A = this chain, B = another copy of it.
Amino acid sequence: MGNSGKVEANRWEEINAACDALSETEEELTREMVMRLADKWSLWTLAILAEEDGPLRFTRLMERVEGVSQKSLTKTLRALERDGLITRQIFAEVPPRVEYTITALGLELLSHVEPLWNWVARSVPQFQRTRQEFEAR
């Protein structure tokens, strides 16, 4: 493990290099996107839509994304739509119908989130141990 740290560090420097190539605005946008992924509902909502593999109405989404409020779901959906990760189609009917569908970009994003999420999930026992040691001091 002596130089594995060095390897990893170098790999991380590549990210910084890639980031430095971005303008201030672009760097901010990158950060914003990454932060959105971790907010309370975005990833979950996106995952539900991916799982569904088809359109879902607002109320169905609220049922599946357990615990979300109307306000938060609306806000989440607007942000996802704005970034092109989902589409929102309104049907001129009574009662109104609105269908949300994940886009190719949204699916691509999820495919890049997956490895990280899996690693974290697999590492949970490790984190639990570390925390217990930390608290035992």
Which residue of chain B lies nearest to A127 when distances are taken between CB atoms in the complex? B83
Residues of B within 8 A of A8 (CB): 50, 107-108, 110-111
* Docked complex: A1-48 residues within 8 A CB-CB of B: 1, 4-6, 8-9, 11-16, 18-19, 22, 26, 29-30, 33-39, 43, 47
Asked whether any CB of chain B lies closer than 8 Å to the CB of A119, the reply is yes
Flag if A120 contacts B33 (CB, 8 Å): yes
Which residue of chain B lies nearest to A36 when distances are taken between CB atoms in the complex? B38
Asked whether any CB of chain B lies closer than 8 Å to the CB of A116, the reply is yes
20 A–B contacts, CB within 8 A, in A order: A5-B107, A6-B53, A8-B107, A8-B108, A8-B110, A8-B111, A9-B107, A12-B110, A14-B118, A15-B121, A18-B121, A19-B121, A33-B123, A34-B120, A84-B130, A105-B123, A105-B130, A108-B119, A115-B115, A115-B116
The 7 closest A-B pairs by CB, nearest first: A38-B38, A84-B130, A8-B107, A35-B38, A12-B50, A112-B119, A9-B53
**Which residues of A approach B to under 8 Å, CB–CB?**
1, 4-6, 8-9, 11-16, 18-19, 22, 26, 29-30, 33-39, 43, 47, 50-51, 53, 81-84, 102, 104-105, 107-128, 130-131, 134
